[in-house]
């Protein structure tokens, strides 16, 4: 049944199916990446801050290296350069954070293009199917039958449905991924600023 629908959809179904595979692969890959780096930000940050307040910088760095989340690299950079001016530390951490977020956003541009193109491919299939139907009507004239029109009408409906079936869930999942990444970025920014404050207090207290 499923295969017969694909065949009736015509050649336009080929790029639609390929696009669905690409979209699914990106969604699964990015979803797995975000799952792997899940972290209790507050708990992690409190552990780091406690080590810093006690002057245990080596332990803080070791803890940063144990987490898979990008915030570990951001914190590590800040701690290693704790003797620099506050503005310099903030700039370095901000650049590192931006690079880490760019990594998390990898392939999302391709995903957005794919889910944007899918319904247009479906509409293209609709036009091609209708052209086929009208050509059959023109060729057979008054002898036209429903079966003669069926191929074109099938293609018109199937390709439109296929394009939307891929695009709608893809669009939803894309925005869920983007929302999750933005949440990570906000947490990194917030706790990054907290780290700079803790480092400044530690330096003022003579802890190096």
Q: What is the DSSP letter of 37?
A: T
Task: State the pTM of this model.
Answer: 0.85
**pLDDT by residue for the chain (208 residues), tens digit each?**
667 767 776 788 899 999 999 999 999 999 999 999 999 999 999 999 999 988 899 999 999 999 999 999 999 999 999 888 889 999 999 999 999 999 999 999 999 999 999 999 988 888 887 777 777 766 766 666 666 666 667 777 888 899 999 999 999 999 999 999 999 999 999 999 999 999 888 776 655 5
Q: Which of 190, 179, 178 is nearest to 74 (CA)?
A: 190
Q: Which of 26, 8, 28, 32 is nearest to 115 (CA)?
A: 26
When computed from its CA atoms, the radius of gyration of the chain, rounded to whole angstroms, is 27
Q: Counting Cβ atoms within 10 Å, is residue 124 exposed (0-12), middle (13-18) or buried (19+)?
A: middle
Q: Scanning the structure block, which residue is given the tokens 């620099």?
A: 84
C-alpha distances in Å from residue 35, one per residue of 24, 169, 183 = 16, 19, 14
The residues, ordered by sequence, that sit 6+ positions from 92 with a Cβ below 8 Å of its Cβ are 77, 78, 81, 84
Structure-token pair, residue 55: 């002057």
The per-residue pLDDT for 140 is 63
Sign for the pseudo-dihedral over CA of 38, 70, 63, 194: negative
Q: Parse the chain into domains and list their residue ranges.
A: 11-203
Report the distance separating Cα 95 and Cα 160, nearest Å. Answer: 44
The per-residue pLDDT for 206 is 56
């Amino acid at each position: 049944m499923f295969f017969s629908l694909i065949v009736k959809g015509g050649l336009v179904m080929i790029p639609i199916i390929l696009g669905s595979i690409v979209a699914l692969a990106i969604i699964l890959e990015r979803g797995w990446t975000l799952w792997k780096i899940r972290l209790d930000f507050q708990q992690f940050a409190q552990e780091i801050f406690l080590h810093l307040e006690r002057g245990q910088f080596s332990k803080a760095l070791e803890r940063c290296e144990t987490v898979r989340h990008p915030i570990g690299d951001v914190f590590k950079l800040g701690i290693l350069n704790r003797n620099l001016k506050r503005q310099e530390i903030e700039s370095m951490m901000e650049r590192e954070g931006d690079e880490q977020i760019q990594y998390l956003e990898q392939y999302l541009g391709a995903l957005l293009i794919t889910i944007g193109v899918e319904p247009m491919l479906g509409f293209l299939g609709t036009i091609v199917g209708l052209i086929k139907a009208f050509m059959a009507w023109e060729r057979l004239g008054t002898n036209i039958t429903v079966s003669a029109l069926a191929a074109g009408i099938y293609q018109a409906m199937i390709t439109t449905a296929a394009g939307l079936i891929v695009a709608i869930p893809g669009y939803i999942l894309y925005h869920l991924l983007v929302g999750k990444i933005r949440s990570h970025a906000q947490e990194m920014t917030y706790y990054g600023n907290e780290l700079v404050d803790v480092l400044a207090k530690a330096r003022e207290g003579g802890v190096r």
